[in-house]
Every structure is written in C-alpha cells, then in structure tokens.
Structure 1
Amino acid sequence: MLTIHAATALRRTLDEEPVVDEAVAVSDDRIAAIGPLAELVERYPQARVRRWPGTLGPALVHEDRVPAAPTPRERIHALLRLGATAVRADRVPDPELRVAARRSGVAVLEAPRPPTLVPSARADLAVFDDEGTCVATVLAGRVMHRRA
C-alpha cells in the first residue's frame, strides 16, 4: 500500500532546516519519493495521505543506553516512542535485547550512520512536535508509534 506522510514541515536530514509543503511517499518498506505534497498526491492518486502535526524527518539512531522496561520487547518499543528506528550495537549487548530489536525491525548498527531521507531507502521516519516530543515513528513503512 502506498502512503504519503505529510507534516507541518519536512527535513531530509537532522541538520537541514525544515521546509513546508513537502512530504514523503512510502511504498511497502521503502521511500518511493520525496517532494511537494501536491505533486506527490497528483503522482500517486491512489495513496493514503497521513497528516501529522510537527516536523517530519528521518528517524533517529539511538546513541544512549536503551531505556529500562520490564521486558526486552518493551525496552525496544521505548526506542520507537523516542523516534528511533536504529540503535548502536554497543548499546544492546544483551542477546535477548538484540533478538527483540531484530523481531521488531529496529536496526542494530555496528557503525553509526547519519539519519537521512532518500528515495529507495528504508522508510524510517519520525515526527516531532515543537517541544521535541516524538508524535509518530514509522519503521520500514509501518506506523509503530503514534502519540495519543
């Protein structure tokens, strides 16, 4: 299913200034296109359009310790609530935690990589409000966290 994710603003990298009226088209688990919302809607008329409050951009790579929680699965879900879809390998030394990350689709990275949105890349997106709180996290094209 094709989905267009649109927000108040979009940034392709974490360092880039956000721009308005742009969106990300996602097909299955990949970014199909990035561009002006009106152009994406015209190009993909069958797509579902999800509108989010805040700034849409690449999901984060978690650089700190994985948050505490009762189970490994809940610890990994805590990353998604923070807007992260990847974590550094040295932050998940516990084998059960690595299994939980793999099952959920959270990437465990041996070397850090800068988060960026580019066509054909895995559709890992996050939306943050003006205070920096994660509003939604999209992992490989699926909404895995949405703030109520």
Structure 2
Amino acid sequence: MRTLHTAPLLRLTADGEPMPDHAVLVSADRVEAIGPLAELSGAYPGVRVRRWPGTLGPGLLHDGPLPVAPTPRERVYALLRRGVTAVRAEHLADPALRAAVDKSDLLALPAAVAPALLRGGRADLAVHGVDGACLVTVVAGRIAHRRA
C-alpha cells in the first residue's frame, strides 16, 4: 500500500534546506516519489496520507555504541525513539544485539554514510518536532516508533 508522508517542512538530508508543503510517497519499503504535497496528492488520488507535525527527513545514523538498556530489544528501541534507522555494524559484536537490530530492520552499515531521502531509496524516515524530539520513525516503509 502506498502512503504519502507529509509535514510542514521536509529535508532531503539532515542539514538540507527545509522545503515547506512537500511530501514523500512510500510504496512497500521504497521511496517512490518526493515533491510538493499538492502535486503528489493530485498524481496519486486516494493514497493514504499521514500528516505529521514538525520536520520530515531521512532517518538518522547512530555512529557509536548502542544505548545501555536491560535487553537488546530495549537498546534498539531507544534508538528508534530518536529517529535512528541505521547503525554502524562495528557496534554489533553481541549476537543478541545484532539479532535485535536485524529483527527491527535497522540498517547495519560497514561505514558512516550520510542519510538522504532519494527516489528509489529505502523508505527510512523520521519526523522531529520543533523541540528536536522524535515524533515518528519509519523503517523500511513501516512505522517503528510513534510518540504518543
């Protein structure tokens, strides 16, 4: 199912210029289109629309040891609550932690790569509020964290 994710502002990269009234069309686990909300809404009538407050952008890369928590699952969820969708593989030596990362569909990268939203790229998104808190994390096209 296609979903159009939109927020008042969209950034294609973490430090990219914010674009008002833009959206990202997600199909399965991929970004199908990026553009002005009005244009995408017109091109894809009847598509499910998720409107988020804040700034929509690429999911974040966590380049360090995972947060301390009682279980591997909780360590991964601590990252999802921050908008993280990728981690460095070098920090996943513990098999249980690696399994938790794999189960959550986080990317385990061999090197640091700047996250970006690209047409045809994996649908890893995050929405951050004006206070910087993560409101929503989308991993491979599915909502993995949503702040209540």
Q: Shorter-normalised TM-score: what interval?
A: over 0.9
Mapped to 2, the partners of 1:91 and 1:126 lie a distance apart of 22
Mapped to 2, the partners of 1:55 and 1:65 lie a distance apart of 26
In structure 1, the residue matched to 2:68 is 68
- Does residue 17 of the first structure (1) align with residue 33 of the second (2)? no
- Does residue 6 of the first structure (1) align with residue 6 of the second (2)? yes
Deviation at 1:17, TM superposition (A): 1.7
Mapped to 2, the partners of 1:91 and 1:23 lie a distance apart of 33
Equivalences for residues 1-148 of structure 1 within 5 A = 1-148=1-148
The answer for unaligned runs of 5 or more in structure 1 is: none
Mapped to 2, the partners of 1:57 and 1:113 lie a distance apart of 15
Deviation at 1:18, TM superposition (A): 0.7
Choose 6-15 or 66-75, whichever is displaced more. Answer: 66-75
Deviation at 1:67, TM superposition (A): 1.1
- RMSD of aligned alpha carbons: 0.8
Mapped to 2, the partners of 1:42 and 1:70 lie a distance apart of 47
TM-score (norm 2): 0.97
The answer for unaligned runs of 5 or more in structure 2 is: none
Letter of the 1:60 counterpart: L
SS in 2 for 1:32: strand
Letter of the 1:17 counterpart: E
Q: Alpha-carbon deviations, 1:120-140, whole Å to 9, x = none?
A: 100000000112110100000
| Contact 1:2 1:25 (C-alpha < 8 Å) held by counterparts | yes
Q: How many residues align?
A: 148
User: Could you list the runs of 4 or more consecutive aligned residues of structure 1 that deviate by over 4 angstroms after TM superposition?
Assistant: none
SS in 2 for 1:138: strand
| Contact 1:2 1:46 (C-alpha < 8 Å) held by counterparts | no
Deviation at 1:112, TM superposition (A): 1.1
TM-score (norm 1): 0.97
Deviation at 1:8, TM superposition (A): 1.1
Mapped to 2, the partners of 1:91 and 1:53 lie a distance apart of 32
